Structure 1
């Protein structure tokens, strides 16, 4: 069996074809129509053609009120405040001059053919459209097409308070670029007067290098405001690369062009921005935790009534027009509060605020409409789609959250209690990691007692020793098996309890592995060629479940494998002409 595992992992890990560069979108990125899911287009986002499927990358954002402070820009882009402070050589409290370029670091990863950095945006008023959000708020760092593709709301009926998924344009270097010294790709939004020659001087690069990175065939190729080009960086950008853009009126031709495009894509209403709108919008990006009064908590939860109870000590609460989840905890949760306040990632549940009352802490979180992954997998007779695409998106969300915890926080953290009950799903079935009560710093904290959830604990958790990220990798391996089987990590078979991981490993060692596995996975998942995906997931899971932590992959490798499998799932879905490829019809085994 080991040789099969090695072959599968090798085939998945190493792409066979890597293109040489990205292609400049031209002004097609400013259009809102013509989304073609079958053929990837640079007018949506940059395509996944890099040597790596995830990487650290950078954006240039131009400071404009109300997005002219570190907290506001960090919240808008889901970036880390400390990194913005360091890269731009400023303090957290600086107010950037108008039109000052700000370097923003983001985590870029491949998802369904396209590279993207994920963030969210809550609509502040009723006069927003996908076009204005992409080109006004995000300055062309997102596109109207990508927003329409990522959200289910109608283009003309966006309402205040709705939260949008915003894919930001980014990319990882190709193999050819890496071989010539490129370490990072910086996404630069074109402004008035920008040319490849001017940008080559600003970033101290040859103009040829910039043109090749964007497929600009010759010096006469036009580049347009509100579109982006990629700057191939030999090292991390610094404050010396950020300039104050000239504040001047656009030429008559550009103004007329933008007015025409805007007329075609704006809702037929006048856009009004009152001072109050702006104040509310910037206030929303204050990263400080909200401190709630106990009277507010009681009122929002109906005095902790049974109608508001979600489960255990968690309640549904309505604070004016905002809906949050309220969790009652003891004061020992102060450490968890401090940790969650430091974390800022789409796939980690957001702590909104807290309330201290007597001997208890009341933690106020973003509300996750679809509850836990455990509950979702166990629902029967619901209208929820549970095909490969939905399940795999959940797996990737959890993997990306762990990747952030292990590699992009300082210090690195181990969640230490990953399970299907600690993964929450929002209204769009996007997964976020919750329950950080057992989280510890990586490689620094020693286990003094057995902690975790039965069925998910790695073998080393039974011994005293330092906690490493490989504990989370092991638990994630179990989670993958849950996702494809709908079974608990410890389930009853033939009247006795069995570990799910042990049962799957035994199946893969049997002579009729494929047949047995097809009957073991969740109904419908093995149909229409889905068994191939199941085998790939099982092989990845078994590599995560190895006894020796050193033999397990890290989350960088795990995400890379998942992205490759996800790409195959979407290709198969398009080939059979369905949105989600596989139904959940019952299967007879």
Structure 2
């Protein structure tokens, strides 16, 4: 019995250790299994969510312009991004200008944890002769996989009806706890091209070879395969060495803040508004609104009194200069009606009442 409990405790400890490791580790390189379109359950559908850390983030994927997708609008439509952000991130002058074929384009996406897999979902309408493998490898340039498409949709992998709308899970990932602690602000999903190495990819994005290997849990002797995704950790500190990187400069000459999706903020040399000034502005605005409300109420009262005065004056004129008219009925065999009138100049006494 003691042996059973010791075995149980050992297994439980190993299980908890596995989850602890998952919450702090980087993502494992998926190699060529991502190109497999079989129904094997052992093939990964994407990057695992980091337990207890980021469940969503703004991420970036790379896409090489093709004949059908060579404008910011077309690429945005395919990958579910925003054309204006694509244009700004890649210094494109227009949303509809043609981009040179095979030019590497950075595409910002919103990365969410769906189940236990990170992904960015976007719709895709099927055209003639399209099947999962072609969508994954050609249309989306390996930013998704057959396995992920099969899991998200219910059509036969090789017999999808024309006009069907599929959900395409674009592969992305958020920084792990270790990466965030080390200054990584965003993970870029790059599709490996022929001849690429960890060194050449690092030079492309201002990242060291070691950081890329660590981000993908790779060793230096591990082979990187063509047409497979690899994660590139982006750090703002790289901008001091590689200021020409796309995530370092914005159109207004300000730095990018990766924690909010590489949006623009003032750098340390720019002018910042002091916190005290912000607080004073808030108090001042609140006081101004209060004064405005009180002033509006007083104006309303004044107009209301004026309206009543005008109405009384109108009634006064209608009654021939008389303000008050009242009927009084006496009890008895004969009904007698009295009228009491008050003029603007004097009060009429009771012995001047008229009988009817």
TM-score tier, shorter chain, comes to: 0.5 to 0.7
Distance 1:18 1:162 in 2: 38
Partner residue in 1 for 2:136? 134
Aligned with 1:18: secondary structure? Answer: helix
With a CA cutoff of 8 Å and minimum separation of 6, indicate the structure with the bigger relative contact order. Answer: 2
Matches of 1:231 and 1:114 in 2, distance apart? 18
Q: 1:145 to 1:58 in 2, by over 3 A?
A: same
Query: Cα gap change, 1:33/1:240 in structure 2, threshold over 3 Å: closer, same or farther?
Result: farther
Q: Residues 60 and 102 of structure 1 are in contact (CA less than 8 Å); yes or no, is this contact kept in structure 2?
A: yes
Runs of 5+ unmatched residues, structure 1: 1-14, 243-406, 411-463, 465-589
Residue equivalent to 2:29: 24
Structure 1 residues 525-583: Cα deviation after superposition (integer angstroms, max 9, x where no partner): xxxxxxxxxxxxxxxxxxxxxxxxxxxxxxxxxxxxxxxxxxxxxxxxxxxxxxxxxxx
Residue of structure 2 equivalent to 1:185: 187
Give 1:65's aligned residue: 67
Secondary structure of 2:199 counterpart: helix
Equivalent-residue separation in structure 2 for 1:35 and 1:113 (angstroms): 18
Larger Rg: 2
Map 1:285-304 onto structure 2 (within 5 A): none
Query: Structure 1 residues 86, 20: CA separation in 2 closer, same or farther (over 3 Å shift)?
Result: same
Match for residue 218 of structure 2 among 216, 219, 227: 216
Kept in 2: contact 1:88–1:239 (CA 8 A): no
Which residue in 1 is equivalent to 2:115?
Answer: 112
Residue pair 1:87, 1:239 contacting (<8 A) in 2 also: no
CA distance in 1, matches of 2:155, 2:208: 43
Contact 1:108–1:117 (CA under 8 A) maintained in structure 2? yes
Q: Secondary structure of 2:233's partner?
A: strand
Cα distance, 1:137 vs structure 2? 0.2
Please report how far the alpha carbon of residue 121 of structure 1 lies from its aligned counterpart in structure 2 after TM superposition: 0.7
Cα pair 1:213 1:232 within 8 Å, conserved: yes
Deviation, 1:226, is: 1.9
**Structure 2: how far apart are the matches of 1:138 and 1:199?**
20
Contact conserved, 1:142 with 1:166, CA < 8 A, in 2?
yes
In 1, Cα distance between the equivalents of 2:157 and 2:228?
20
8 A Cα contact 1:21 1:215, kept in partner: yes
Q: Which residue of 2 aligns with 1:486?
A: none
Runs of 4 or more above 6 Å deviation = 236-239
User: What does residue 199 of structure 1 align with?
Assistant: 201
TM-score, normalized by length of structure 2? 0.60
Deviations along 1:418-441, whole A, 9 cap, x unmatched? xxxxxxxxxxxxxxxxxxxxxxxx
Alignment of 1:526-541 (within 5 A): none
Q: Given the superposition, is the C-alpha separation of residues 35 and 149 from structure 1 closer, same or farther in structure 2, using an over 3 Å criterion? A: farther
1:325-404 aligned at under 5 Å gives the runs none
Work out the number of aligned pairs and report it: 226
Q: Distance in 1 between matches of 2:214 and 2:97?
A: 36
How far does residue 174 in structure 1 lie from its aligned partner after superposition? 0.4
**1:101 & 1:239 partners in 2: Cα distance?**
18
- 2:83 & 2:55 partners in 1: Cα distance? 25
CA contact (8 A) 1:186 1:231 kept: yes
Cα distance in 2, alignment partners of residues 59 and 154 from structure 1: 28
**TM-fit CA distance, 1:85:** 1.0
Q: How does 1:475-486 map to 2 (within 5 A)?
A: none
* SS of corresponding position for 2:25: coil
TM-score, reference length from structure 1: 0.37
Question: Does the CA-based 8 Å contact 1:55-1:109 persist in structure 2?
Answer: yes
Distance in structure 1 (CA, Å) of the matches to 2:202 and 2:158? 40
2:81 maps to 1:79: yes
Distance 1:78 1:225 in 2: 25
Q: CA deviation at 1:220?
A: 2.3
SS at match of 2:73: helix
Superposition pairs of residues 148-297 of structure 1, within 5 angstroms: 148-217=150-219, 219-235=220-236, 240-241=244-245
User: 1:239 Cα shift?
Assistant: 11
TM-fit CA distance, 1:241: 4.8
Q: How has the CA–CA distance of structure 1 residues 74 and 94 changed in structure 2, closer, same or farther, with 3 Å as cutoff?
A: same
> Taking structure 1 as reference, are residues 186 and 208 closer, same or farther at Cα in structure 2, changes over 3 Å only?
same
Q: CA deviation at 1:19?
A: 3.1
Q: CA deviation at 1:34?
A: 3.8
Q: How far 1:157 moved relative to its partner?
A: 1.1
CA displacement, residues 66-107 of structure 1 (integer Å, 9 cap, x when unaligned): 011111000001101111111011121221101100010000
Can you give the 5+ residue segments of structure 2 that lack an aligned partner in the other structure? 1-18, 247-259, 264-292, 294-356
Task: Determine if contact 1:21/1:213 at 8 Å carries over to the other structure.
Answer: yes
| CA offsets 1:1-22 (integer angstroms, 9 cap, x no match) | xxxxxxxxxxxxxx96613110
Which secondary structure does the structure 2 equivalent of 1:183 belong to?
A: strand
Equivalent runs, 1:402-441 vs 2, <5 Å: none
